[in-house]
Copies of this chain bind each other. A is one copy, B any other.
Amino acid sequence: MAIVTLLTDSGESDHYVAAIKAKIISVNPGIRIEDISHKIGPSDIGHAAFVLRSVFRDFPKGTVHLVGVDACGNRGDVPIALQLEDHFFVGCDNGLFGLITEKSHQQLAELNTISPIQTTFPERDIFAPAAAKLASGMSITNLGRPMPAFKRMIDRQVKATKKQIVGTVVRVDETGNLITNIPKDVFDLLSANKGYTIQFGGEKFRKIQTHYNQSEQGECCIVFNSLGLLEIGIYKGNASQLLGLEYDSVVNITFDEP
């Protein structure tokens, strides 16, 4: 099954996304195309990386993920194809792919090196044919010139000690839930059945729940979500608006003294 997913910042009221799909279908009409999102903020690499790393592993291994976010990159950024954790990715070497996994690449090539073209629309003219060929079984090594490494940026890290975990909101989802970068496994290791206080904005909480519907409507609800990350929501409400927190707001957990 040849699958290509699309993740772009192209929006949904222009011809761009359809042009990418048309190009893929023209190369191989048997490819299944699945949209991840076209509503990534313009050139918002952080948003795109969060969405992509949260979902790419749910697709079958061998899936090709075309990423048209900040597709032109900065001066000198080149189009690439790479294999990571048995998935294929095609996009611009603008630092995004370094944010989706800490694993090393399995294969990596610079695209547009064989009969290079000039284009202002690399998603359609470079990424789409490469993705379609990968999904059709061509190997990365036949798509372009091998590269030693792709760009990695340093993501905001969680600070964790025996006394405290300090994290930040890494995504405010469309319903206003605040997803932090505090992982359940770090919490489990450090809490060791100690009591704890979760703080953000002016609020303090003493309990992490297992389901949203354990709260009453309008109440704050804190869970470890399906990504294994601490998430703050308002049951049937918009947590970001009601709590005044946004992307990059600090959330910390302080463990009780024994």
The chain A residues found within 8 Å of chain B, CB to CB, are 1, 3, 5, 9-19, 21-23, 25-26, 29, 32-40, 42-43, 47, 50-52, 54-55, 58-60, 70, 72-75, 77, 118-121, 124-125, 171, 173-175, 210-214, 223-226, 231, 236, 238
Q: Once bound together, how far apart are the Cα atoms of A107 and B34, in whole Å?
A: 31
Least CB separation from A36: chain B residue: B18
Q: Once bound together, how far apart are the Cα atoms of A235 and B15, in whole Å?
A: 20
Asked whether B3 lies within 8 Å of A25 as measured between CB atoms, the reply is: yes
Q: Once bound together, how far apart are the Cα atoms of A120 and B19, in whole Å?
A: 31
Residues in chain B near residue A238, CB distance under 8 A: 42
Asked whether B22 lies within 8 Å of A73 as measured between CB atoms, the reply is: no
Least CB separation from A6: chain B residue: B18
Q: Once bound together, how far apart are the Cα atoms of A96 and B47, in whole Å?
A: 32
Asked whether B174 lies within 8 Å of A11 as measured between CB atoms, the reply is: yes
Copies of this protein in the assembly total 3
Asked whether B72 lies within 8 Å of A22 as measured between CB atoms, the reply is: no
Residues in chain B near residue A120, CB distance under 8 A: 210-212, 223-226, 231
Least CB separation from A59: chain B residue: B22
A13-B40, A74-B213 as given contacts; A54 in contact with B19, CB under 8 Å: yes
Q: Once bound together, how far apart are the Cα atoms of A250 and B56, in whole Å?
A: 44
Asked whether A214 lies within 8 Å of B34 as measured between CB atoms, the reply is: no
Q: Once bound together, how far apart are the Cα atoms of A39 and B18, in whole Å?
A: 13
Asked whether B25 lies within 8 Å of A13 as measured between CB atoms, the reply is: no
- Name A213's contact: one of B11, B16, B73, B174 (CB within 8 Å): B73
Q: Once bound together, how far apart are the Cα atoms of A60 and B125, in whole Å?
A: 16
Q: Once bound together, how far apart are the Cα atoms of A223 and B122, in whole Å?
A: 14
CB distance from A203 to the nearest CB of B (A): 20
Asked whether B175 lies within 8 Å of A9 as measured between CB atoms, the reply is: yes
Q: Once bound together, how far apart are the Cα atoms of A237 and B226, in whole Å?
A: 34
Asked whether A60 lies within 8 Å of B29 as measured between CB atoms, the reply is: yes
Asked whether B26 lies within 8 Å of A77 as measured between CB atoms, the reply is: no
A15-B55, A34-B25, A60-B26 as given contacts; A175 in contact with B214, CB under 8 Å: no
Asked whether B12 lies within 8 Å of A72 as measured between CB atoms, the reply is: no
Residues in chain B near residue A119, CB distance under 8 A: 226
Least CB separation from A77: chain B residue: B213
